[in-house]
């Protein structure tokens, strides 16, 4: 099982990725999920400063794997690194002669390098679309249904870069979800 000590040179994203691997193959009780198992195994993987951080968390502050991941990344993934990567994501552009599938792969890699980017799915797809070159935008627009971008990107990617067998292509959110995402992001600012 991988260990995480909380040192600045350690990669939080790599730890989470490596930690999930053995948890996925462990035998679990009948009514237990992989995510439940991960939470129970955490104290054995966190050492030093990271273990101290876990022990000092308020009781019942972590009730799910998503709770842990968010708190963990907020504490151990440096905010200056998060802001730098988010800036790269916002300015991300497709190269002139790059295939749509290659562009998506590079974009997804950048998103994965900042697991606590706190961007909703609608925002991610919008950034991807806006950074596409004119040729790719035309292709994506050709897959739009009734002037909605809801399914265009997954469909276009499916045509250009068939997903692996069993890989699920996410549905894009509709206009209501985009608005809801926007409102949630601006609640603290008093905007909506």
How confident is the model over 125-155, as pLDDT tens digits?
889 999 999 999 888 888 776 455 556 777 7
CATH of the domain at 149: 1.10.1200
Instruction: With residue 135 as reference, give the H or E element that holds it.
Output: helix 134-142
Predicted TM-score (pTM) of the model is 0.58
Count of structural domains, the chain: 2
Residue 166 lies in a domain: yes
The residue segments making up the domain with residue 123 are 80-189
Same domain, 123 and 56: no
Torsion of the alpha carbons at 125, 130, 133 and 135, rounded to the nearest 10: 70
Question: Phi and psi dihedrals of 148, rounded to 5?
Answer: -115, 145
**Which of 5-9, 115-119, 180-184 shows the lowest mean pLDDT across its residues?**
180-184
Of 77, 108, 133, which residue sits at a domain end?
Answer: 77
Last residue of one domain, picked from the residues 77, 100, 133: 77
In this structure, what token pair is assigned to residue 13? 């994203």
Radius of gyration of the chain (CA): 19
Choose between 128 and 191: higher pLDDT: 128
CA 157, distance to chain mean position in Å, is 18
72 and 46 fall within a common domain: yes
- 95/184 same-domain check: yes
More confident residue, 191 or 62: 62
CB 129 within 8 A of CB 140: yes
Residue 40 and residue 102 in one domain: no
186 against 78, higher pLDDT = 78
For residues 64 and 151, state if they share a domain. no
Residues 69-121 pLDDT 10s: 889 988 988 778 888 889 999 999 999 899 999 999 999 888 888 877 778 88
Residue 34: closest CA among 20, 44, 54:
20
Residues 20 and 64 in one domain: yes
């Amino acid at each position: 099982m991988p260990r995480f000590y909380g040192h600045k040179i350690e990669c939080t994203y790599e730890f989470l990725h490596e930690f999930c691997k053995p948890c996925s193959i462990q035998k679990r009780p009948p009514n237990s999920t992989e995510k439940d198992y991960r939470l129970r195994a955490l104290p054995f993987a966190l050492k030093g400063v990271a273990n101290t951080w876990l022990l000092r968390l308020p009781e019942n502050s972590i009730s799910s794997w998503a709770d842990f991941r968010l708190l963990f990344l907020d504490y151990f993934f440096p905010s200056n690194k998060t802001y730098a990567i988010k800036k790269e994501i916002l300015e991300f552009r497709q190269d002139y002669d790059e295939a749509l599938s290659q562009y998506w792969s590079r974009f997804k890699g950048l998103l994965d390098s900042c697991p606590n980017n706190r961007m909703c799915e609608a925002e991610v797809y919008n950034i991807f679309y806006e950074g596409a070159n004119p040729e790719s935008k035309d292709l994506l627009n050709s897959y739009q249904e009734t002037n909605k971008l809801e399914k265009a990107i997954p469909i276009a990617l499916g045509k250009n870069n068939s997903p692996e067998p069993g890989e699920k292509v996410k549905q894009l959110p509709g206009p209501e979800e985009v608005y809801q995402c926007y409102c949630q992001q601006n609640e603290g600012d008093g905007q909506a």
